[in-house]
């Protein structure tokens, strides 16, 4: 057995090997140690190998999917080695081969590799997140990218230059990336033989997968695209051990048709996940009102890849507007959609050979409900063009749904080994077999009664177990009566208090029951395979129906969210204007609303004559929120949804850039300031007149003079060279002088004021430069000790005086005794309080006067 295991482990490579032994998957050696630590299960041992105990752990086969999910989340890949013959077949093979039957080893083989990008099982997938596998190939300096979600069959191919590969992979959000082992890629990837990434092999594989002689009907594919497709399909063939999943015709994705965003921008805007990880706090969490998993996945795709062409954006907006304008229609539509199963993923499992009767039932119910959705939307007055495009995909499949309705029971099971999922009257021969099997209890009961009468043993029973099958059992004191040769009973087993027998009649009846049951299971299995073949033959139109349902769910969800928040339909133009009135940040507003607070809306109007806004004001005043909300409004508009504003006119943006927040990348040897400069460099090298850029605190990661110089130069470059629409937040007041030399730059600030020593943040944007940064006031608001704030105020006064007199920033700092000013001020305050307390006649104070005095002292202490 160990030799067989080691041979399979060599084939599995760096994957954990699940080795099937009866009702368990066992792991050995280092695999066992690693899996036991991840799964928190017992690590034991079995026998010895090379004189040392063999570490072992195992998981039950019936619960394997739960354990697989945890291993995949931990970054593991798993090879499944199943028994490919029964013990009886192994013994028969041993006899044929002339080997010892007692040592016959059941054959095993790896039937599948379970990896992050090749999952189809419902329990292993997140319903509201796509699961994408991507392959990359490089030919003569150009990259091809092929990606697919095998749970639904969607496949896309595109081409890019090395500088944009990272942003494409960030947009795709692949669970797993495959690359040739002779290529040096700057990210984690599963490496495969270079021969898999052949453009000729990729072309042949695509033709074979779709049964066509030419790919011209699918689009124009470049050699790098085909090479990537070759690597993708070779990996799927390897993972499935020759069983290919559902693959729909590949779609060529044009980069110029979508809003460009690099990885840093996506992370900064927290589109699909927040900085803390997960959906909570992200844009999609704030706007997702989809009622199906497929709709949520499509919404995520829309937000990850907004459009950059006016016509398709307007088509989406028109349909959202159509549903938004009719609340009754919207409610009925969402109620229908809420009951739909995930048609696309059920189809994917069936075509991949991993489906169940329940998946067939989901197709039956889902396709039937999709037809009802189509009936609801058909014959609407002034239907948008996109609705007319979707309706035909909702109308078909009547023949298939009728077949599935006749063939399946109302609630098919998830397992098919035990049968019971083919409906009565679908197959009369099957009904007869079931009747025989179903009448077994009555037949056995009648035989038991007959034997009791014949033997006179009232305690005789006919029982069944998995080892002996059916048998007759009597108490030990009655066994002698059945032991005689003419009794008609054959002794099988003696127990402590009972003896078990067989009989010819019981054997014949048990054989008839078993045969009928086996034939019934075989008949159901044959029907299942026929139904799956019928479904697979209609895979593409079923997938189009699933896509239409998902799009309608996105549209209805967008309309619902717009109605909740009083959002507006944006106006999309071909110029470079950006006019947002009373814009809000959808995530921040949702958080404030939940706590009973109000979000302060602000306007943003950029044009060719006023395309660069320099925004000043205190930290926590709302600068970053203002910058991000306008970027998100652009993104949401071009994704085809309504936006959180009173009105919005969006001149099409081709690339969106965000340099907001401080972070490092120590794993790649980059400090916070280095990361800031890398991201800034990318913007300066790529942004153009149709781009929208938000920059926050450029230069803050280095010395004051260096930082100011960099921020100044970057602002000038954005204004003069890139000529992009840009919101630039900064604390450097000196940059206000740029307005004198940059005609398209205007000055703005977030308003704040100090009241009785406290900073009041108004979160309102106003024209003009900020008068100061309010840094010390913010520090006090944050809870910095008053002595430290007082010391900082003394240092600031000295700095400002030194700069005014000598031009040197740090002039005269050596004259400041450590905390002297703070200590002196604090002592004077204490003396004043002591004097007031000493002058009080406590005995003459009324309770009300004492309480008022405490309030006064507390307020004064807070101001100080």
Q: At 573, give phi and psi (nearest 5°).
A: -125, 165
Provide the 8-state DSSP code for 696: E
Shortest CA distance to 161 belongs to which of 134, 146, 147, 141? 141
DSSP letters spanning 125-176: S-TTS---EEEEEEETTEEEEEEEETTTTEEEEEEE-HHHHHHHHHHHT-SE
Pairing of strands 571-573, 647-651: parallel
Stated length of the chain: 864
For residue 90, what pLDDT is reported? 82
Alpha-carbon distance of 604 to 623, in angstroms, equals: 12
**359 token code pair:** 């998946």
- Fold of domain 430-521: MutS, DNA mismatch repair protein; Chain A, domain 3 (1.10.1420)
β-pair type (78-83, 469-475): unpaired
What confidence score (pLDDT) does residue 670 get?
A: 62
- 493 — phi, psi (to 5°)? -160, 135
Rounded-to-integer distance, Cα 500 and Cα 46, Å:
36
The H or E element that residue 15 is part of is none
The pLDDT of residue 667: 43
Distance, CA of 645 to CA of 653 (rounded, Å): 18
Identify the helix (H) or strand (E) that includes residue 87: helix 87-97
pLDDT lower than 70: segments of the chain: 102, 186, 661-670, 754-760, 762, 771-774, 778, 800, 802-832, 860-864
- Do 778 and 759 form a contact (C-beta atoms < 8 A)? yes
C-beta neighbour count of 486 within 10 angstroms: 5
- Residue 748 in contact with residue 642, Cβ under 8 Å? no
Question: Pick from 242, 239, 229: which is nearest to 143 by CA?
Answer: 229
Q: Give me the pLDDT at residue 200, please.
A: 95
Which parts are annotated binding residues? 617-624
**Which whole-number Å values give the CA distances from 168 to 251, 258, 464, in the listed order?**
15, 11, 61
Burial class of residue 465 in the structure, from the number of CB atoms within 10 Å of its CB (0-12 exposed, 13-18 middle, 19+ buried): exposed
| Model confidence pLDDT, tens digit, residues 414-438 | 988 888 999 999 999 998 888 877 7
435-457: burial string, b at 16+ Cβ within 10 Å, e else: ebbeebeeebeebbeebbeebeb
The number of CA neighbours under 13 Å toward the Cβ of 111 is: 14
- Give domain 127-253's CATH architecture: 2-Layer Sandwich (3.30)
CATH architecture assignment, domain 310-397+538-564: Orthogonal Bundle (1.10)
3-state helix, strand, coil in the chain (%, to 5): 50, 20, 30
Region 566-773: CATH code = 3.40.50.300
Give just the sign of the alpha carbon dihedral 86, 88, 90, 92. negative
Say how many CA atoms lie within 13 Å of 660 toward its Cβ: 25
142-149 and 133-139 strand pairing: antiparallel
* Residues 178 and 231 sit within 8 Å (Cβ to Cβ): yes
Residue 152 confidence (pLDDT) = 95
Burial class (CB in 10 A: 0-12, 13-18, 19+), 520: buried
183, burial (CB in 10 Å: exposed 0-12, middle 13-18, buried 19+): middle
Chain-centre distance of CA 706, in angstroms?
Answer: 41
Strand partners, 758: 755
Q: Which residues contact 412 (CB under 8 A, 6 or more apart)?
A: 356, 357, 358, 360, 361, 421
pLDDT at 355: 93
Find all residues with CB under 8 Å of 804, minimum gap 6, and list them: none
CB atoms within 10 A of CB 522: 13
**Same CATH fold assignment for domains 310-397+538-564 and 430-521:** yes
CA dihedral 447, 450, 452, 454 (to 10 degrees): -130
Report the sign of the C-alpha dihedral through residues 421, 427, 428, 432, in that order: negative
Binding annotation for ATP: 617-624
| Residue 617 confidence (pLDDT) | 80
**Contact in structure between 157 and 253 (CB atoms under 8 Å):** yes
Query: Model pTM?
Result: 0.85
Q: How far is CA 216 from CA 20, 35, 203, 250, in A?
A: 45, 47, 11, 11
Farthest CA pair distance, the chain: 127
Q: At what angle do helices 539-565 and 504-537 cross, to 10 degrees?
A: 70
Specify the pLDDT at position 731: 83
Say which residue the tokens 């078990």 belong to.
500
Structure tokens at 263: 């990885």
Distance CA 799, CA 804 (A): 9
Exposure string (b/e) for 90-115, b if CB count within 10 Å is 16 or more? bbebbeeeeeeeeebebebebbbbbb
The pLDDT value given to residue 546: 97
CATH number of 2-114, picked from 2.40.10.10, 3.40.50.150, 3.40.1170.10, 3.40.350.10: 3.40.1170.10
CB 247 within 8 A of CB 209: yes
At residue 186, the pLDDT reads 65
Q: Which helix (H) or strand (E) holds 641?
A: none
Tokens of 37: 């630590």
Q: Cα–Cα–Cα angle for 446, 449, 453, nearest 5°?
A: 140
Cβ-proximal residues to 783 (8 Å cutoff; 6+ apart), any chain? none
Retrieve residue 715's tokens. 């602002």
Give 671-679 contacts, CB < 8 A, sequence gap 24+: 671/701, 672/701, 673/701, 673/702, 676/700, 676/701, 677/710, 679/264
Q: In 10 A of CB 828, how many CB atoms?
A: 10
Domain layout of the chain by residue ranges: 2-114, 127-253, 310-397+538-564, 430-521, 566-773, 786-863
Q: In what order do the strands lie in the sheet with 602-606?
A: 571-573, 647-651, 578-583, 602-606
DSSP string, 98-128: T--GGGPPPPEEEEEEE-GGG---GGGS-TT
Report the helix count and the strand count for the chain, using DSSP H and E.
30, 27
- At residue 847, the pLDDT reads 85
Instruction: Report the alpha-carbon distance of residue 402 to residue 187 in Å, rounded.
Output: 49
Which pLDDT belongs to residue 304? 96
């Amino acid at each position: 057995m160990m030799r067989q295991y080691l041979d399979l482990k060599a084939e599995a490579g760096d994957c954990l090997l699940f080795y099937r032994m009866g009702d368990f998957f066992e792991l050995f050696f280092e695999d066992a140690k690693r899996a036991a630590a991840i799964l928190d299960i017992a690590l034991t041992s079995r026998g010895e190998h090379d004189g040392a105990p063999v570490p072992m752990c195992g998981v039950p086969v019936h619960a394997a999917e739960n354990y697989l999910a945890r291993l995949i989340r931990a970054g593991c890949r798993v090879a499944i080695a199943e028994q490919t013959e029964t013990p009886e077949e192994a013994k028969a093979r041993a006899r044929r081969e002339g080997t010892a039957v007692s040592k016959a080893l059941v054959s095993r083989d790896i039937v599948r590799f379970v990896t992050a990008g090749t999952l189809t099982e419902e329990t292993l997938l997140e319903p509201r997140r796509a699961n994408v596998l991507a392959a990359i190939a490089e030919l003569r300096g150009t990259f091809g990218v092929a990606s697919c979600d095998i749970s639904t069959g969607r496949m896309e191919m595109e081409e890019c230059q090395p500088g944009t590969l990272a942003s494409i992979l960030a947009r795709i959000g692949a669970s797993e990336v495959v690359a040739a082992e002779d290529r040096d890629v700057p990210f984690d990837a599963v490496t495969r033989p270079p021969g898999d990434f052949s453009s000729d092999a990729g072309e042949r594989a695509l033709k074979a997968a779709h049964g066509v002689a030419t790919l011209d009907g699918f689009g124009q594919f470049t050699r790098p695209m085909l090479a990537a497709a070759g690597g993708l399909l070779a990996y799927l063939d390897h993972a499935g051990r020759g069983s290919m999943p559902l693959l729909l015709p590949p779609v060529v994705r044009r980069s110029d048709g979508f809003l460009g965003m690099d990885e840093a921008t996506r992370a900064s805007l927290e589109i699909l996940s927040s900085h803390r990880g997960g959906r909570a706090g992200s844009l999609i969490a704030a706007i997702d009102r989809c009622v199906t998993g497929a709709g949520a996945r499509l919404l995520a795709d829309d937000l990850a890849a907004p459009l950059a062409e006016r016509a398709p954006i307007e088509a989406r907006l028109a349909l959202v507007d159509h549903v938004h304008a009719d609340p009754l229609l919207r409610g009925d539509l969402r109620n229908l959609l809420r009951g739909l199963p995930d048609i696309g993923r059920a189809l994917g499992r069936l075509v991949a050979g991993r489906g169940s009767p329940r998946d067939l039932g989901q197709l039956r119910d889902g396709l039937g409900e999709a037809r009802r959705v189509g009936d609801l939307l058909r014959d609407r007055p002034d239907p948008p063009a996109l609705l007319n495009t979707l309706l035909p995909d909702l109308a078909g499949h009547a023949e298939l749904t009728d077949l599935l309705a006749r063939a399946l029971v109302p609630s098919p099971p998830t397992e098919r080994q035990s049968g019971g999922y083919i409906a009565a009257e679908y197959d009369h021969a099957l009904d007869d077999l079931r009747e025989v099997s179903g009448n077994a209890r009555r037949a056995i009961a009648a035989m038991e009664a007959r034997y009791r009468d014949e033997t006179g043993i009232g305690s005789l029973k006919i029982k069944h177990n998995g080892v002996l099958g059916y048998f007759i059992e009597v108490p030990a004191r009655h066994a002698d009566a059945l032991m005689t040769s003419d009794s008609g009973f054959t002794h099988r087993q003696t127990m402590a208090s009972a003896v078990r027998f067989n009989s010819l009649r019981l054997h014949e009846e048990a054989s008839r029951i078993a045969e009928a049951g086996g034939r019934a299971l075989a008949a159901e299995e044959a029907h299942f395979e026929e139904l799956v073949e019928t479904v697979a033959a209609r895979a593409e139109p079923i997938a189009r129906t699933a896509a239409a349902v998902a799009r309608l769910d996105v549209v209805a969800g967008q309309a619902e969210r717009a109605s909740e928040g009083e959002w507006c339909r944006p106006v999309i133009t071909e110029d470079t204007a950006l006019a947002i009135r009373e814009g809000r940040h959808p995530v921040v507003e949702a958080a404030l609303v939940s706590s009973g607070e109000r979000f302060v809306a602000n306007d943003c109007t950029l044009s060719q004559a006023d395309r660069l806004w320099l925004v000043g004001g205190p930290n926590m005043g709302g600068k970053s929120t203002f910058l991000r909300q306008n970027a998100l409004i652009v993104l949401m508009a071009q994704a085809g949804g309504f936006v959180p504003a009173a009105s919005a006119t969006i001149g099409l943006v081709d690339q969106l850039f965000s340099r907001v927040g401080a972070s490092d990348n120590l794993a790649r040897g980059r400090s916070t300031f280095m990361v800031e400069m890398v991201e800034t460099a990318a913007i300066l090298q790529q942004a153009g007149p149709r781009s929208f850029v938000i920059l926050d605190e450029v230069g803050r990661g280095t010395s004051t003079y260096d930082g100011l110089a960099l921020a100044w130069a970057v602002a000038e470059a954005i204004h003069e060279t890139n000529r992009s629409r840009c919101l630039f937040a900064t604390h450097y007041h000196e940059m206000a002088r740029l307005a004198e030399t940059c005609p398209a730059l205007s000055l703005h600030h977030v308003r704040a004021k100090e009241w009785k020593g406290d900073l009041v943040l108004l979160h309102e944007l106003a024209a003009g430069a900020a008068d100061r940064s309010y840094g010390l006031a913010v520090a006090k608001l944050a809870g910095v000790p008053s002595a430290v704030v007082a010391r900082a105020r003394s240092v600031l006064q000295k700095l400002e005086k030194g700069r005014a007199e000598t031009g040197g920033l740090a002039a005269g700092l050596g004259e400041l005794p450590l905390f002297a000013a703070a200590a002196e001020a604090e002592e004077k305050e204490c003396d004043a309080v002591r004097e007031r307390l000493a002058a009080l006649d406590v005995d003459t104070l009324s309770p009300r006067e004492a309480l008022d005095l405490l309030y006064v002292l507390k307020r004064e202490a807070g101001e100080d």
